[in-house]
Amino acid sequence: MKIIFLGAPGAGKGTQAKKVAQKMNILHISTGDLLRQNVTNSTSLGRQAKDFMNKGALVPDELVTQMLIDRLSRPDIEKGFILDGYPRNLNQAKKLDEVLADKNRSIDKVIYLDASEPVIIQRITGRLVCRSCGANFHIKNMPPKKNMVCDHCGGELYQRSDDKEETVRKRLEVYRQEAACLIDYYSNTGRLIKIKADDEAEPVLKEIFAVI
């Protein structure tokens, strides 16, 4: 199964993709996570991407696409995957279809998580992420049992530098500019499934399982 999760920052792509991937025993490939690893390790890609990310802008297509092609060329993708954070514009969507077609593969389903702006802002500005395992928490909605400590691995929780309200607004603006084209592209090819994503994580997860 090859699935894309589409939706605004804060729509719940990361939270839901992790759970679905685990349950289905397929990979969760998050371009945001891959980029952040590159920034942390100060690779050449990370150094080039960092300023774009901190401003809430998109990292240039050629850099992200090459990173994704490298990831998709590893043999473990045979078990199936969920893409989270890619594609983010029409150019990336077309490129992805080409790369998969070269391997005689294609995307089976595109799950579009549709959340409203006040919910998104509230979710992102309260989000906490584990430095060790990447698990997501929320100060109010999904608080960790112990203050700033991950329930799953005991790692330290932190707020992403691009999760401050001003940067979140910029990320949403960038998302809105590109989203309509992407949604059209996948609905025109009969692959889009829209799910209302304002509700809490558990009921939204149930809906996702119901459609896949």
Residue 29 engages ligand ADP in binding (rule: CB under 6 A): no
Of the candidates 29, 17, 15, the residue with the CA atom closest to the CA atom of residue 87: 29
Scanning 48-56, 71-79, 144-152, 190-198 for contacts with ligand ADP by CB under 6 A, the matching segment is 48-56
Q: How far apart are CA 130 and CA 107, in angstroms?
A: 30
Q: How far apart are CA 27 and CA 20, in angstroms?
A: 9
| One residue of 2, 18, 123, 171 binding ligand ADP per CB under 6 A | 171
Which residues share a beta bridge with 112?
6, 194
88 is catalytic: yes
| One residue of 6, 17, 26, 35 binding ligand ADP per CB under 6 A | 35
Which residues inside 109-168 make contact with ligand ADP, applying CB under 6 A?
Answer: 162
Of the candidates 3, 194, 195, the residue with the CA atom closest to the CA atom of residue 96: 3
CA distance to 1, 81, 110, 186, per residue, from 190 (Å) = 16, 19, 9, 6
- Asked if 85 and 70 count as a contact pair (C-beta separation under 8 A), the reply is no
Name the region of 56 (left: φ>0; alpha: ψ -120 to 50; beta: rest).
left
Please tell me which residue in 2, 18, 95, 127 is annotated as part of the active site: 127
123 is catalytic: no
Scanning 21-29, 72-80, 86-94, 192-200 for contacts with ligand ADP by CB under 6 A, the matching segment is 86-94
Size of the site for ligand ADP (CB under 6 A): 17
Q: What is the DSSP string of 9-41?
A: TTSSHHHHHHHHHHHHT-EEEEHHHHHHHHHHT
Residue 12 engages ligand ADP in binding (rule: CB under 6 A): no
Residue 93 engages ligand ADP in binding (rule: CB under 6 A): no
| One residue of 29, 59, 107, 130 binding ligand ADP per CB under 6 A | 59
Scanning 85-93, 106-114, 132-140, 182-190 for contacts with ligand ADP by CB under 6 A, the matching segment is 85-93
13 is catalytic: yes
- Residue 71 or residue 146: which is nearer to ligand ADP going by CB? 71
CA distance to 56, 99, 163, 172, per residue, from 166 (Å) = 9, 35, 8, 10
- Which residue has tokens 């942390």? 40
Please tell me which residue in 160, 164, 170, 191 is annotated as part of the active site: 160
Please tell me which residue in 2, 13, 18, 36 is annotated as part of the active site: 13
- Active site positions, annotated: 13, 88, 127, 160, 171
| Chain positions contacting ligand ADP, by CB under 6 A | 9, 31-32, 35, 52-53, 56-59, 64, 85-86, 88, 92, 162, 171
